[in-house]
Structure 1
Amino acid sequence: MLKLSSLELKVPPVVHFAVTGGAMYFVAKQLPTFDYSLTGSKGLVSALAIAGVTLGVKGVIEFRKAQTTPNPHTPDKASALVTEGVYQYSRNPMYFGLLTVLIAWGLYLSNLLTLLLLPLFVVVMNQLQIKPEERVLAKKFGEAYQAYKAKVRRWI
């Protein structure tokens, strides 16, 4: 039997994002009885999608400024602890950006059941990506990382 821990840091976050987005689409098409209509949703969807992409890009830019790797598979290769820019509000703005785009996608699909998949994305990201990254960063950056963790929330 496959142990969940064997998948830690193995599946790219963008794959989790794509699988969740695909599952949301499948649910919306298979269960149209849960469709709804939301006035003004086009503007909200656009704003959320732009915000999500912007968060992700800003996260990568901060990593580049610090000359450290944004590669989610190799947190052990991090050469700096990034705490500036969007990282002063979220320890994981790139993942929060992906979640924000998924929220926009769920609103675009206009099906209530699609939104129920969002907590699953958060749980998967926490277990398979974020917690393993946190263990590596805590070991690598010690007290500085612990102080950062105490000051800034994991998601928002």
Structure 2
Amino acid sequence: MASEVNQDAPRSDSKATGGLKPTTAMLLAEAIAKPGEQPHFIHSLALRFAETAIFLVAVIGAIALGLGITAYFGEHRYVLAYLAAYAGFRFSDLIVRDDVEDSPPREELSRRIVAQLPLLVVFAAAPFERTYVYGGAAPAFVRALGLLLELLGMWLALGARIQLGFFTSGRTPEHPVLVTRGFYHYVRHPIYAGTFLVTFGWTLIYGAPVTAVLTVIIGAIFAQRRMKSEEAAMRARFGEEYDTYRRETDALIPAIW
């Protein structure tokens, strides 16, 4: 799941929230306008594309492993539709995200790929469960629901990233802002919520209930750990303003969690 923590440092005399870095699209435009002045960003963008390409290839491999075959997608249109949309989601997320890291290139790429391993397990487990435990295909309405959840999740995750960039545009590290509008008015971590819907939708594409339950449990554990760490940093950075926002807004699911 992508990080939603703002990394900019606040002013020492204010408890206002940290302003977010420009989105990748904004930085790309600056790099094109001023060639030679953004070497770190261009290198980081290349790593992002490499990470995404490697991950998508790994996803196809995981699915093939779970199925035990490779000539499959032409007969299962919901699977093909999901993967086509998912590839678009990953590359779109790459463009609009704002968390360009400062880690050494190899360390950063390795860390991010390792962090995706649980997701690859889900992509392998769902078709494996359907193929070798139940056989056949899941009911059409279940597959359709899975595709719908994926599209809703992509809309939520990408929309939240875009809103984050929009509401913080023009801000500087010296004048940060806490985003509490748009999707952030309803949940504190809409990107995590959207990414989870995308992942959970895959288990419905195959109608794999065991994988679905494990995805919920493991996803909740990972989300809780990430949110706890990030919100501790947010409270330390933003003080009472963030505490108030946290009390008034649910974490992932309105009125539930």
Fold similarity call, TM over 0.5:
yes
Partner secondary structure for residue 40 of structure 1: helix
Q: Distance in 2 between matches of 1:143 and 1:66?
A: 21
Question: How big is each residue's C-alpha offset from its partner over 1:43-101, in whole Å with a ceiling of 9 and x where there is no partner?
Answer: 21221111101111111112112327xxxxxxx99932111000011100000001000
Could you say which residue in structure 2 is the equivalent of 1:124? 222
Count matched residues: 137
Could you say which residue in structure 2 is the equivalent of 1:19? 117
* Counterpart code for 2:146: V
Could you say which residue in structure 1 is the equivalent of 2:68? none
**How high is the TM-score relative to the length of structure 2?**
0.47
Post-superposition offset of 1:34: 5.1
Largest Rg, 1 or 2: 2
Q: Distance in 1 between matches of 2:235 and 2:157?
A: 23
Structure of greater relative contact order (alpha carbons < 8 Å, 6+ residues apart) = 1
* Counterpart code for 2:181: E
Could you say which residue in structure 2 is the equivalent of 1:49? 150
Could you say which residue in structure 1 is the equivalent of 2:203? 106
Identity among equivalent pairs (%): 23
Q: Distance in 2 between matches of 1:137 and 1:23?
A: 31
Could you say which residue in structure 2 is the equivalent of 1:63? 164
Post-superposition offset of 1:40: 1.1
* Counterpart code for 1:132: S
Q: Distance in 1 between matches of 2:143 and 2:121?
A: 21
Partner secondary structure for residue 178 of structure 2: coil
Contact 2:138-2:206 within 8 A present in 1 as well: no
Q: Which runs of 5+ in 2 are unaligned?
A: 1-107
Q: Distance in 2 between matches of 1:56 and 1:15?
A: 21
Cα distance change, pair 151–107 in 1 and its aligned pair in 2 (3 A): same
* Counterpart code for 1:50: L
Partner secondary structure for residue 41 of structure 1: helix
Post-superposition offset of 1:131: 0.9
Contact 1:20-1:117 within 8 A present in 2 as well: no
